[in-house]
Amino acid sequence: MGLIYLVQGGREASSGEPPAPRLHCLNLSQKTLNSEWVLSSALGALARRRYARALFFSWPNLQAACLRLAGFLTNHYPGERRTLLEECLATAIERYESTADDPQFELAPARAFLIGLIEHAPRVLDYRVYGICKGNKTVCWDLFSRPVSTWARNARVKRLVFEPTSLGSELKNTRFVHFVLASHVLEMRDLVVMRGEIEAMSGFTGTSPGE
């Protein structure tokens, strides 16, 4: 199930010529909107499924956060080299491993994992998401309104289309994006503990978004 690259207007790009801008289009099924299947598939693509099973046994809250992120993004949202979900998971595991032996604070690895999980949040702004429904009716996902999988299921979307935008590059301060994604993915107790780290990661300056 690969991506189909189209230039604007729906014409397929000729071979050997990178389309600009390009639309990422994917057919959907109930399976690809199931958070557990999506998470397992993404971890499998990273060859981290067995590792994650042991990790989640020790830290059930990390599994819960990953499942919510899987539902929010699906495994279709484009990243830089992989899907955005796969890149989020890879970063989270990398952060966890880098602090796993920290003797100072027993919660440090779990907190590092959760910080890594939302580190790439601003990349959500790189695309506008559309759904193609029965009869070629087109609907648009309202940014951060609800999980993409919930929206697609409720709207009975048959095909997802990701259109590149310049919104992310136009914003100088994207700290609010980390907070919004965190509110969808993390539990309240995690948010309270991690507030300072999220602000630091986002370059918090006390100014309003976009300034």
Q: Any residues with CB less than 8 A from the CB of 202 and at least 6 apart, and which?
A: 173, 174, 175, 176, 177, 178, 179
Q: Do residues 143 and 171 touch, judged by C-beta distance below 8 A?
A: no
Q: Residue 47 sits in which domain range?
A: 23-201
Question: In this predicted structure, what is the pLDDT of residue 11?
Answer: 36
pLDDT classification of 150: cutoffs 50, 70, 90: very high
In a domain, 100, yes or no: yes
In a domain, 36, yes or no: yes
Q: Please tell me which residue, 14 or 93, carries the higher pLDDT value.
A: 93
What CATH code is carried by the domain that includes residue 27?
Answer: 1.10.3210.40
- Average pLDDT of the chain? 81
Over the stretch 158-179, which tens digit does the pLDDT of each residue have?
A: 999 999 988 766 665 667 788 8
Question: In this predicted structure, what is the pLDDT of residue 130?
Answer: 95
Over the stretch 64-117, which tens digit does the pLDDT of each residue have?
A: 999 999 999 999 999 999 999 999 999 999 999 988 776 566 778 888 899 999
Structural domain count of the chain: 1
Distance between CA 71 and CA 104 in Å, rounded?
Answer: 34
Other C-beta atoms within 10 Å of 13: how many? 14
Q: Do residues 159 and 27 touch, judged by C-beta distance below 8 A?
A: yes
Question: In this predicted structure, what is the pLDDT of residue 18?
Answer: 45
In a domain, 183, yes or no: yes
In a domain, 175, yes or no: yes
In a domain, 2, yes or no: no
Q: Do residues 169 and 206 touch, judged by C-beta distance below 8 A?
A: no
Question: In this predicted structure, what is the pLDDT of residue 3?
Answer: 38
Sign of CA dihedral 44, 47, 51, 55: negative
Among residues of the chain, what percentage have pLDDT more than 70?
75
Question: In this predicted structure, what is the pLDDT of residue 197?
Answer: 67
pTM across the whole model = 0.81
Conformational region of residue 196, where left means phi above 0, alpha means psi within -120 to 50, and beta covers everything else: alpha
